[in-house]
Amino acid sequence: MNNLEWVDEAWSKVNSKIDRTSKKIGANFPHASVNGTYQLEEPFWWTAGFWPGLLWLVYRDSKDESLKKIAEQCEEKLDKVITDYYRLDHDMGFMWTLTSVARYKLLGEEDSKRRALLVANLLMGRFNAQGNYIRAWNPWHEGEDNSGWAIIDCLMNLPLLFWASEVTGDPRYGHVAKKHGETVLSNFIRKDGSVHHIIRFDPESGERIEAIGGQGFAPESAWSRGASWAVYGLSLLYKHTKEDKYLQAAKSVSHFFIANLPEDYVPHWDFRLPEGVTKYRDSSAGAIAACGLLLLANQVAPTEAEIYENAGVKILKSLYENYGDLENPNQDGLILSGTSHYPEGKNIDVPLIYGDYYFVEGLSILKGHEELFW
């Protein structure tokens, strides 16, 4: 992987900033930075793993014990969520991969392994065997039935299942991950390489009913963070299965993503917006996709790798140079201009903790770390 001077410079600034913000944020769960201050969420919110995950990425090189302690405290705070049936959804993979699996991979901590295996079992429990999908959310309000919903983001929860199969020797977890992956291939990816956010199935028969717009502009638009989950999620599916169909799908969604990037390589929040709708950037989509593109580059022949590696590096470099806010003492976030949920008017044009996490993961990959938490 390229050894680029700007990466070392960015990494050093990230370290200084995290040294400061870790003392302010502590063992809590930031999500979006509003007026320079990270707003905290409850531990059950899907973003809970990103702050401790980011601390583990920095700790891996710095060995700063204070960061390790905060990441461990976050993991312990998540314990009460494991028994809260109503709050647990498909995002368990995001939450415990970046806390328990990360700690187990870095330190061999048995308690973390136990936690992550317990959660992998709970995640398997959301599998609908008729429709071959992992159910997404629980009802958002009394009487709602969303038991037939599956979403593109869930690809990133599958590595927890592959990890569980690897450490237990029991292939069931991987079987479920692959079944869900096949459903994504046959139902979520359009011919042009763009993806749907939500597909609704009949939970009884398993038949596909419709596509739903979700966090994108419309059912047939192209939400860029959804596209970035597909870029990284499918590259990971190929890494874990070595099945060519996932490699081809990862290439297809990556080509769509790269072809739709604006001049500065940081995506708008949706790639298919009608005139009149503000094209806010979503820096988090850029950071996520960059990690996926770098992983893809590592898994194809060198002649093919160039297109993915170049795009991944250009996105990260633009995030650093044009969106990074690494030396501003009045801003908790690392990169500006994330868009969390445009249709609901939530957290638009602000730093987002998952944008920060994947930006730092991307830098750590460019620094030479090939071993992933995922």
Catalytic choice (64, 89, 153, 325): 153
- Residue written as tokens 């314990």? 79
- Quick note: the x/- pattern for ligand GLY over 2-41, rule CB under 6 A, is ----------------------------------------
Q: Is 221 in the site for ligand GLY (CB under 6 A)?
A: no
**Which of 29, 46, 201, 342 is in the footprint of ligand GLY by CB under 6 A?**
46
- Quick note: the x/- pattern for ligand GLY over 137-156, rule CB under 6 A, is ----------------x---
Task: Give one DSSP letter per residue of 288-308, joined into a string.
Answer: HHHHHHHHHHHHS-HHHHHHH
**Shortest Cβ distance from residue 114 to ligand GLY (Å)?**
26
Q: Is 225 in the site for ligand GLY (CB under 6 A)?
A: yes
Q: Which of 295, 319, 251, 343 is nearest to 156 (CA)?
A: 295
Nearer to ligand GLY, 22 or 340 (CB): 340
Query: Closest residue (Cβ) to ligand GLY?
Result: 153
Residue 274 phi/psi, 5° resolution? -70, 160
Any catalytic annotation for residue 91?
A: yes
Task: Give one DSSP letter per residue of 205-266, joined into a string.
Answer: T--EEEEE-TTSSSTTS-BHHHHHHHHHHHHHHHHHH--HHHHHHHHHHHHHHHHT--TTS-
Any catalytic annotation for residue 8?
A: no
| Whole-number CA gyration radius for the chain | 19
**Which of 215, 224, 318, 331 is in the footprint of ligand GLY by CB under 6 A?**
215
Nearer to ligand GLY, 22 or 221 (CB): 221
Interatomic CA distance for residues 333 and 325, integer angstroms: 7
Q: Are 38 and 31 in contact (CB under 8 A)?
A: yes
Strand runs (DSSP E) across the chain, as ranges? 30-34, 37-40, 127-128, 133-134, 149-151, 198-201, 208-212, 338-341, 346-350
In the range 149-208, which residues lie near ligand GLY by CB under 6 A? 153
Interatomic CA distance for residues 44 and 138, integer angstroms: 13
How many residues at the interface with ligand GLY, by CB under 6 A? 5
One-letter amino acid at 98 equals L
Q: Is 339 in the site for ligand GLY (CB under 6 A)?
A: no
Catalytic choice (91, 270, 332, 356): 91
Residues carrying an active site annotation: 91, 153
Binding site for ligand GLY (CB under 6 A): 46, 153, 215, 225, 340
